[in-house]
Each structure stands twice: as C-alpha cells, then as structure tokens.
Amino acid sequence: MNTGPHHSADSSARRGGLAQLLRVAGRRWAQHEGDSFTQAYANSLSHRLPLLYMVVVFDALLVALRFRSEAPIWLTLFVPLLLGSFAIWRAFYWRPSAVVGRSLAVLRRDLNAMSWLGAFAGFLFALWGMLLYPYGDVAEQSFVHYIIAVTLFSGILGLAHSPLTALRIAIAITIPTTGQILFSGHPNAVLVMMVQVVVTTILLLVTNGHHRDFVKLELSRQQLVRREREAAQLAEDNLLQATVDPLTGALNRRAILTRLDQELERPGSPDTKAWLALVDLDGFKHVNDTYGHAAGDAVLAAVAQRFATFGRIRCFGRLGGDEFAAVLDPDLDEDGVRALATEISESLRAPVLHAGAVLRLSGSVGVHRMDGRSASDCLERADAALYKAKEQSDGAVIVFSPDDEAELQTRAAITRLFNDSDLADRLRLLYQPIIDGETGGVTGYEAFVRWSPDGERWLAPGQFMALADATGRTGELTRMVMARALRECPAWHYGRTLSINLAPRDVTRAGTADALAKLVEEAGAPAGAIILEVTERALISDPRRAESQLQTFRSKGFRIALDDFGAGWSSLSQVHRLPLDMIKIDQELSRALASDPGARTLVGTIISLSWQLGIDCTIEGVEDAAQAETARALGIRLMQGYHFGHPEPAHVALAAMAADPLTETVSLWA
C-alpha cells in the first residue's frame, strides 16, 4: 500500500500548523512597537541583561568545575571559556551607560535580534549540558539539570520585558533537555521533566503578565508625557499670547508694563535707571486710509524689525495702534539717549515697500528717565514728551525735562479742576467783531470762550480745550457755549451773524448737528445767521466722516467756515470737496502780509480759489493798518483782529449793534 504521499501531506500539515502556532504566539508575546517603547525596553533590559549574563557565567563555571575530572578538557575548559566570553561581551554590550548613547535605529535592531540570539545562546548552553551528561553519575546528571533549570528560570525572569525572547529561550532549552532526561534512564526523569515544564510555563505566564503591566504603565507614562507636552505647549502659547504682539512679534502692552515694573524695582539711584522712550508714527493714519490696513500692518512689522537692530535697547514692544515703547540703556546720559532716540527716529524714515507701493512716514519720540515712579507715571511723562515732540514737527525728539515736570503738574491740577468743575459757573464768552473792509461796518461777531480754574485766572481755548478733549467734555462745552451765545448775543436781531467754534470731535461726533439745530430753534434764531467754524485738524483726523458731517450741518441751515486756513494741512486741492461758505485765513499769514512776498502770494492764491468756488474769505489777526491795507489790496473784504476790536463781553457787542442796527442780515454769499 502506497502511504508516501499521505505521510508527506500529514507532515506538511503538522509543520504548517506549528508555524501558524508560532506566528500567533509571536504576535501575542511580541514587544510593542514605537520609538518610546523601544527606548523603554532598552533602558529596562540594560539593567537586567548584564546580571543575567553574569548568572550564565557563574553557572557555567560551576558546571565546568564539577566535571573537570570526568569530562574532556574541551568540554570543561574551551566550551565554558567560549560561553563565558560570549556572556561577558553581551553583558558589557548591554551595560546602561552604553545603551543610553545608542540611536533608536541601533536599539531597534538589537531588540529584534535578541529573541533569536537569546534562543541560540540558550540552545548552546543546553547542548553543552547534554554533551556533559554521559560523563557524570546520577548526582552529577541531576546537577546538570538543576543548573540548566536555574539558568532558564533566571533568563525568563530577566527577560520579563522581552517575553518573546523568554519564550524562545524556554523552547530552545526545555525541549532538548526534557527529551534527553526522559530517554536517559534517570530514576526521577518524569518528575524532573514535569517540574521543569510546569515551572517554566508558570514563569512564562508570569513574565507575560509582567510585560502587559509594563506596557500599560508605559502607555500611561507616554500619555502623561503627551499631556505634559501639550500642557507645556499650551502654556507657551498662552505666554506668547499674553506677552507677544501677534502682528509685530514684539512685546505687547501687558508685557511692556511688566518690564517697566521690573526696571523700576532694580536697585539704584534715579540717575542710574533705564530710559523709557515712546514712539508714535507720524503719517500712519494716512497710510492706513490710503493703502489699506494690510499696508499699515506691514509698516508696523517693519518698525518692529528696525527696533530690533539697535543694540542699546533693552526691550521694546507695541503699546497699541501705531505707538511703540522701548526701554533704553541706563548707562546713556541725556545727550546719549537723545542721539539714540534720533537714530531711531531717522531709521523710521526709511521707506517700507508693500505690494508695489512705497510707504513713507516718520516717528516722533518722547523720552523719560524712569526715576522711581510707577510705570503709569513713567508712561505719562514719556507721553508728555511725545506730545511735545509731535507739536514741534514730524520725527522730532524730546527728552522730558524738569520744566516739563512742572508743566505736567500744573496741567494735572488744572485737569482735575476742569473735570470736577461746573462749566456753567466757570465759563464766560467774549465777542470780537468781524468787519467789512469796504464799509468799515460790523457784519457779525465771533464768540470766544474763556474758562477759569479758580474764578480769577481766565484761560483761552488753547490752554484748556485739550483738557475738554481728554475728559470727554467737548460736546458738553460746545452745547453750553452755543446756548449761552444765543442767549447773550442775539446778533441776528441786529442783522449780524454769530460765529461759534466747533471742537474737532464735534465735527465727527454723531448727533452734534441735531443738538445744535435744536438749540438754535429754541432760541428763535435763523440757522443761516449762525456760522460754525471748524479747524483743519478736524478734517485731518477723519476726512470722509468730517465731510459727511459738514453736509449734515449745511442741511440744518448752518453756514460753515474753515478756520485757521494756511496754518497746517491747508490742502487747496481738498477744499473744493467740502461744503464751505467761508475760508478764514490764519493770523500767522496775516502778520506776514506786509513784509513777506511769499505770504502775499499764498494769500492771493487762497483768495483766487475762494472766488472760483464762490465762497468768501475772512482774514484773522489783523493788528495794524498796514496789514489791513495789504489785505484790502489783495481783495479781502472781511477782516478780524485787534486793529478793529478786541473780544469784549456781550453787553459791549450788543451796545455797538444797537447803535448801528442793520435792517437785514448781511449776506456776502448771495
């Protein structure tokens, strides 16, 4: 009967089943993959494997000594030397100090090779024991089995973090040794075999359980590390968000204030403290309005980059908008800090290129020595110096001085008085005539407001309007002036006009036109007799909104005069867009008329423009006959100034109008 093919098929099936079983066992007993696990396995094994290899050396030495007189020298000397050398080399290779410095790729290679290398080494150790077996009696044979079992058990326990290696070593040792003892005729063969197999199995299961616990612990550790890393990243992100301006990468306002507090806490005399510089970009609003916010952002980022190029700046940041702050080296004296601030200002004049456009602007700088006050006090003084610099010229540099300190204290006291005062009790109005240069008659009056902080000193608008602006009382002040002027000086009853000055914020504040129109209506005055004077400053801050508001004033019946024309912005090309009835030429040009040909040329240009637009001109600040005659020769009809009359109380203006009443309101715009 031919059984060959069936026998071959059965053998193949058994080999396939065994291979499948080994693959399943390999997957269940394999180590976890991943860089973190590779490092964890290697670190743990580096503390166990050297001890395990020392056990192998010790056990091999004991066996060799026991059989030194019975077995051949090659089994009791050369083979133990070979096994011991291999074990010592592997122990040295796996020492912790060596493992720490290895790359993950090398560690991964070592761990992958360990299971087969360990199984091969275990098999060689067992084979050596089996070769010695025939040379001993029952006691020596039992000793061999004992040593092999102890070595195996030690290996399994030592390889708790590499259970697949432990499994392969157990198979490589247990199968040949148990087979040998069963067929050797040992009197306790079955018991020895059972003990070895059972204990080996239990230790393997315990080892695998330890490995699972290790994996869980390592996964928990990795999760904790990830959470700590995420928390650290979140803390770093929060710190950046809390301290860094996202647009420029410089410190933000909060961080700058913190640094200022730290600088103030440094020990030392006031003259050893750092300098605080505030920088405001001149022309930034124009860039934003003309080229868009993206261009403005590019400018701010470029400014921050330029700050970073200066070595004597301790730190810098963006306070908000287009204002920056920098802490400067305390070793600089006043001349040195002024020179550094000038360098900073000059660096800001370099053009910024954005989307094909060349953006040009400058930076005014105010500097203050941080001499022991609070951060807010230091900022206030640096800001006062900055304000003074901006009043001088674009790109100016001002270092806060003792005189500035005295002025600041005075202004602070006046600010408190203004903020706390009842404006109705501390205001008075004076009225200056506006003259028809051809007839010499009075065509109207302009109301000038005065405020007293103490009932004795009376301050002009230039001395307190900034306070009204800072305290948010400009609207209240304007309404109060309008109401009082309408009540005190009803010039329309005498055929004259009444001019009222508006603050810049009045021109852009919603609701101003309605509020003023209501006051005029309640006073029974014709709106056409009221001239509202606006300054060029109001038009600069928000040209589009200002133009819209002026149209609203005109729709209410008011007449509009552009005051102080020629003093600053004075863009002749923009005047035709505005709903104006009059241009009032600034008094600085008036003073220069008689002596400066350039001033006369400019005034002539303004007059020509006003004629073309169909609006009239008034010249302010005429102080003598020469100026009046020059203005008259240039074609100016309406004039105002000390040459014709000083501002006087309402009763003086009323008396003058009563003595020379007009039958109808003078209209020079018809």
Distance CA 61, CA 76 (A): 9
Cα–Cα dist 435/621, whole Å: 12
The SS3 of residue 448 is strand
- Cα separation, 307 vs 315, whole angstroms: 9
Residues of the chain with pLDDT under 70: 1-34, 372, 541, 567-574, 663-670
Tokens 């009540």 -> residue: 487
Tokens representing 119 are 């199984």
- C-alpha 533: how far from its chain's center? 43
Domain boundary among 173, 206, 223: 223
Say how many domains are in the chain.
3
What pLDDT sits at residue 668?
37
Per the structure, the complete domain to which residue 364 belongs is given by 253-400
Residues 353 and 444 in one domain: no
Pair (150, 287) in one structural domain: no
3-state helix, strand, coil in the chain (%, to 5): 65, 15, 25
228 lies in some domain: no
Among residues 352, 348, 351, 353, the alpha carbon closest in space to that of 395 is found at: 348
Are 248 and 318 within 8 A, CB to CB? yes
> What distance in Å separates the CA atoms of residue 545 and residue 390, rounded to the nearest whole number?
24
Residues 89, 219: one domain?
A: yes
- Inside any domain, residue 76: yes
Are 203 and 327 members of one domain? no
How would you class 187 by CB atoms within 10 Å of its CB: exposed for 0-12, middle for 13-18, buried for 19 or more? exposed
| Residue 427, strand partner residues | 451
**Tokens 């004076």 map to which residue?**
430
pTM: 0.54
Q: Is residue 595 a contact partner of residue 589, using CB atoms and an 8 Å limit?
A: no
Q: Is position 244 within any domain?
A: no
Question: What pLDDT does residue 79 have?
Answer: 86
Dihedral of alpha carbons 283, 285, 290, 294, sign: positive
Q: What is the pLDDT of residues 112-137, one digit of tens each?
A: 888 788 888 888 888 888 888 888 88
d(CA 221, CA 223): 5
Q: What is the rounded radius of gyration, in angstroms, for the C-alpha atoms of the chain? A: 49
Going by DSSP bridges, is the β-strand pair 582-585/559-565 parallel, antiparallel, or unpaired? parallel
Instruction: Please say whether the beta carbons of 71 and 3 come within 8 A.
Output: no
Shared domain for 155 and 284, answered yes or no, is no
Name the domain boundary from 400, 433, 461: 400
Domain assignment of residue 413, yes or no = no
Strands 497-501 and 442-451: parallel
Amino acid at 245: D
Q: What is the pLDDT of residue 185?
A: 72
Residue 440 lies inside a defined structural domain of this protein: yes
Question: Both 427 and 364 in a single domain?
Answer: no
* Residue 656, burial from CB neighbour count under 10 angstroms (0-12, 13-18, 19+): middle
Question: Is the C-alpha dihedral spanning 350, 355, 357, 362 positive or negative?
Answer: negative
Q: Backbone phi, then psi, for 357, in 5-degree steps?
A: -100, 145
Tell the burial category of 70 from Cβ atoms under 10 Å away from its Cβ (0-12, 13-18, 19+): middle
In a domain, 60, yes or no: yes
What secondary structure letter does DSSP report for 422? -
- Among 343, 365, 400, the domain-final residue is 400
**Torsion angles phi and psi, residue 181, rounded to 5:** -65, -30
Q: Tell me how far apart the alpha carbons of residues 635 and 15 are, in angstroms, rounded to a whole number.
A: 121
308 and 446 belong to one structural domain: no
* Burial (CB count <10 Å: 0-12, 13-18, 19+), residue 183: exposed
Spatial CB neighbours of 71, under 8 Å, sequence gap ≥ 6: 132, 135, 136
Q: Are residues 394 and 428 in the same domain?
A: no
- Provide the token pair at 528: 């056409």
Which DSSP string do the residues of 492-555 spell out, in sequence order?
A: GGGT-EEEEEPPHHHHHSTTHHHHHHHHHHHHT--GGGEEEEEEHHHHHH-HHHHHHHHHHHHH
C-alpha 446/C-alpha 499 separation (Å) is 4
Q: Most distant CA pair in the chain: distance in Å?
A: 155
Residue with tokens 């992958």: 112
For residue 246, being part of any structural domain is answered with no
H runs (alpha helix) in 542-664: 543-555, 572-575, 587-592, 597-613, 625-633, 650-659
The CATH number assigned to the domain holding 471 equals 3.20.20.450
Q: What CA–CA distances, in Å, run from 259 to 262, 327, 382, 405?
A: 5, 9, 15, 23
Cβ 585 vs Cβ 571: under 8 Å: no
Report yes or no on 670 lying in a domain. Answer: no
Three-state SS for 244? strand
Clarify whether residues 97 and 21 are in a common domain: yes
Same domain? For 440 and 556 the reply is yes
Same domain, 450 and 565: yes
Whether 282 and 426 share a structural domain: no
Among residues 483, 452, 485, 457, which one has the least CA distance to residue 467?
A: 452
Whichever domain contains 351, its CATH number is 3.30.70.270
Residue 124: predicted pLDDT: 87
Question: Burial, 383: exposed, middle or buried (Cβ in 10 Å; 0-12, 13-18, 19+)?
Answer: buried
Could you give the CA distance from residue 178 to residue 173 in angstroms, rounded to a whole number? 8
